[in-house]
Amino acid sequence: MKTHLVAALDAARALPATPAPDAILAEALRRLAGEAQRGLVGVLNGTGILLHTNLGRAPLAAAALDAIATTAGGASNVEYDLAAGARGSRYDRLGALLRAATGAQDALVVNNGAAAVLLALDTLARGPGGEPREVIVARNQLIEIGGGFRLPDVLARSGARLVEVGTTNKVRIDDYARALSPRTALLLRAHPSNFRLAGFTSEVGGAELAALGARAGVPVLEDLGSGALHDLREYGLPRERTVQDAVADGIDLIAFSGDKLLGGPQAGILVGRTAAVARVRTNPLLRALRVGAPTIAALGATLRLHLEPGGRERVPLYRMLAASPEALRARAEALRARLPGLDLRVVAVEGYVGGGTLPLAPLPSIALAWRPAGGGLDAALGRLRAGTPPLIARAEGDAVAIDVRTIPPERDGDLAALLEAAQ
């Protein structure tokens, strides 16, 4: 506060006439509020994108937040074995839960999905003396995802030598088989994220690739990305390949994110065969990528909800997915009735799961369409972003569209207050 007051005083001194003390204080408070918005603050997500990367992806369940508060608010047994009274391993805290949730033989958690892939490549794609070896990957899986993250660059950073097989639209198992050599260290299968090919296409399934790897004595790594544990057809969406599918196919090592379809905190999860996970566990790079107590606590609580009968409904992502258009419309109509002074309509819109998941599968939803009285849509969106809490919405046609699916029902009062203040 002192710094902002000094800045406000300096600005006042530069003016031809000295402002009143109240005006100087108001300027200092304005500067302080602006500084606060540059820090990390909670926002309301009215975009209709459930896993919005710019807004933190999956919101955490209440159970996950409670677990963080319980363990991170003081000392915890993050690396302490209570039974032995000696040092323990932080990586053992989640092993049993991940084995139960996925069916894999063993598991390991690092700080994000890209780190999981990098660690696996750094471990499996080097020879006994640390020399780089070859990784075979389909040409149509060499993608770039958000933030300029490119799979070929990660391969290069790990020291692996990339061997591309197939064509842009068609890849067959024979393409992989012909590329095998004494220098082959790994067969890689990657999730397409937001990229899709349509038309005259073919790709190699996980079971087929795992069988080839087993015959050749070469491990198979799958970057599954989304981390689905459930069949999304329950929510009217196309089926997404699950972690359990990859495990059942015999993939040696599977990498996925904790903050996508798992609905947990940012984390990179590796599950698979005991031997493959054990090799990764001995890599010195693991220490640089390890997770802390808050992540372990939140991920553990989220996994327990997935394993508990009926617990999935308490994971915010799945609560959003389960909301019916009828329930969303009822909420939007109630909000419109609370704000008779605003030009509001209730409209059908399309949202998306987001986070690189199901990019071609729109999610039918309901939005409040607000036509501001003056100032234009950009100015209205700016006023909403300047609110407390900020509301992130989008312009659609001649209105500001606020998708209610991605706003928790218990925050409808906050949404109404923000709209009223922004008119």
Domains annotated for the chain, with CATH where assigned, are 40-57+318-422 (3.90.1150.180), 62-314 (3.40.640.10)
Please provide residue 331's backbone torsions phi and psi, each rounded to the nearest 5 degrees: -65, -45
DSSP state of 61: P
pLDDT lower than 70: segments of the chain: 1-9, 28-38, 144-149, 193-197, 199
CA 264 to chain centre: 8
Q: What is the pLDDT of residues 139-198, one digit of tens each?
A: 888 776 665 667 777 777 777 888 999 888 889 999 999 999 999 999 999 877 666 667
Instruction: Determine the pLDDT at residue 413.
Output: 97
CA-to-CA separations, 242 to 163, 191, 193, 231, 246, in angstroms, rounded: 27, 11, 14, 7, 7
What residue has token string 């915890």? 76
Instruction: Determine the pLDDT at residue 20.
Output: 78
For 121, residues 6+ apart whose C-beta sits below 8 A from its C-beta are 135, 154, 155, 158, 160, 186, 188, 221
Instruction: Determine the pLDDT at residue 311.
Output: 96
Count of alpha carbons within 13 Å of 161, Cβ hemisphere only? Answer: 13
Instruction: Determine the pLDDT at residue 5.
Output: 61
Give the separation between CA 18 and CA 319, rounded to whole angstroms. Answer: 55
Q: Dihedral sign for Cα 150, 257, 67, 413, please.
A: positive
Residues 209/173, Cβ–Cβ less than 8 Å: yes
Give the separation between CA 45 and CA 41, rounded to whole angstroms. Answer: 12
For 287, residues 6+ apart whose C-beta sits below 8 A from its C-beta are none
CA-based Rg of the chain, rounded to a whole angstrom? 25
Please provide residue 85's backbone torsions phi and psi, each rounded to the nearest 5 degrees: 65, 35
Give the separation between CA 421 and CA 212, rounded to whole angstroms. Answer: 62
Give the separation between CA 77 and CA 68, rounded to whole angstroms. Answer: 13
Instruction: Determine the pLDDT at residue 129.
Output: 75
Give the separation between CA 6 and CA 17, rounded to whole angstroms. Answer: 18
- Which residues of 17-87 form beta strands (DSSP E)? 44-45, 49-51, 80-81, 86-87
Strand partners of residue 352:
49
What residue has token string 């471990």? 123
Cis peptide before 389 (omega within 30 of 0): yes
For 37, residues 6+ apart whose C-beta sits below 8 A from its C-beta are 386, 390
Give the separation between CA 21 and CA 132, rounded to whole angstroms. Answer: 68
Instruction: Determine the pLDDT at residue 33.
Output: 62
Instruction: Determine the pLDDT at residue 130.
Output: 73
Give the separation between CA 295 and CA 272, rounded to whole angstroms. Answer: 21
Checking DSSP bridges between strand 144-145 and strand 149-150, what pairing results, if any?
antiparallel
Instruction: Determine the pLDDT at residue 373.
Output: 87
3-state secondary structure of 135: strand
Residues 140/197, Cβ–Cβ less than 8 Å: yes
